[in-house]
Structures are given as structure tokens and as C-alpha cells.
Amino acid sequence: MTSTVSTPKSVSNPDVAAGVAQFLSPVVIDLTALVVNGKQAHWHVRGANFIGVHELLDTIVDHAQEWADVAAERIIALGLPIDARLHTVAEKTTTQPLTAGFRPYQDTIVEVIAQLDAALASVNTAVAELDELDQTSQDVAIEIARGLDKDRWFLAAHISE
């Protein structure tokens, strides 16, 4: 018995699919890194605002996981694979490593905001580059950008004066 793999009928232009993958793959990578690093921060945050920051980090992680899935599924819907295995994420993410161990909530917030900013940079590149390439894929990137901006705002509010 042989198995066949078919490309979805929605793929009308392989160049469009390749372009979408080029710009959404870094989004998946950076969001996946945010999931892992956000959980690390969630477990190790300390201080007076512990519970609020701890719970907000869980929300940010949940959102990042959801958005990584949306972006990855868009690439796959166009007939291409995505590589977001942990070693690939570690090699290709634009995020910076978090400081190890327990951290004061203010320091944790600054580091997670840097993670969000790195993901936003990838997402904003995708928004700009997908404009003329594939507007459906651009809509995915715009949705993610809107959500990351909101999560960043909520987190930054904990250290704003």
C-alpha cells in the first residue's frame, strides 16, 4: 500500500505559499519562544505584584500559543510544512534568553516585554511584507499584532508610572 500526500486545492500559486512561509515562519518561531520563556518567567516571578504578574504571564503564554498555531496552520493550509521543533526555535528565534532563577516582578516584566517586542518585530515585518503577497495571511499577522500589542500594554502597566 502506498500513501500519497496531496497539496490543498487552495494553493494556486506556490510562490505565494513560499512567500507566506518566509514571513510567517519567523512569527511562529518567536511566538513559540515566547511560550517557553513566558512559562519560565511565570514560574520564577517574585515580589509584591506576584499574583497579578504571575496570572498575566499565563494569559500571555496562552495567547502566544494560540497565535503560533494560527500562523503555523496558515502556512500548512497553503501546502508547506513548518519547523517549530525546540532546537529550531532555539537556533532561529530573535528573542533574547531570560535570566535564570527567581526574579523580581519588575525585572521579569522588562525581560518579557523584550520577548514581546522581538515577536512584534517579526509580526510587523510579516504585516508589511504580506500586504501585496497574500492579504488573508496578512490578516493573520494583523490579528497577532493587535493581540501582542494589547498583552504588552497590560504587562507594561505593572511598571509604568
Over residues 10-54, the pLDDT tens digits come to 456 899 999 999 999 999 999 999 999 999 999 999 999 999 999
pLDDT of residue 13: 87
* Assigned C-alpha cell, 137: 495571511
| β-sheet bridge partners, residue 104 | 46
Average pLDDT of 67-92?
A: 97
Q: Long-range CB contacts (< 8 A, 24+ apart) of 145-154? A: 145/120, 147/63, 147/67, 148/63, 148/67, 148/116, 148/119, 148/120, 148/123, 149/120, 151/59, 151/60, 151/63, 151/116, 152/113, 152/116, 152/117, 152/120, 154/56
CATH, range 14-156: 1.20.1260.10
Average pLDDT of 66-82?
97
Q: What is the mean pLDDT of the chain?
A: 93
Q: What number is the average pLDDT over the span 71-93?
A: 97
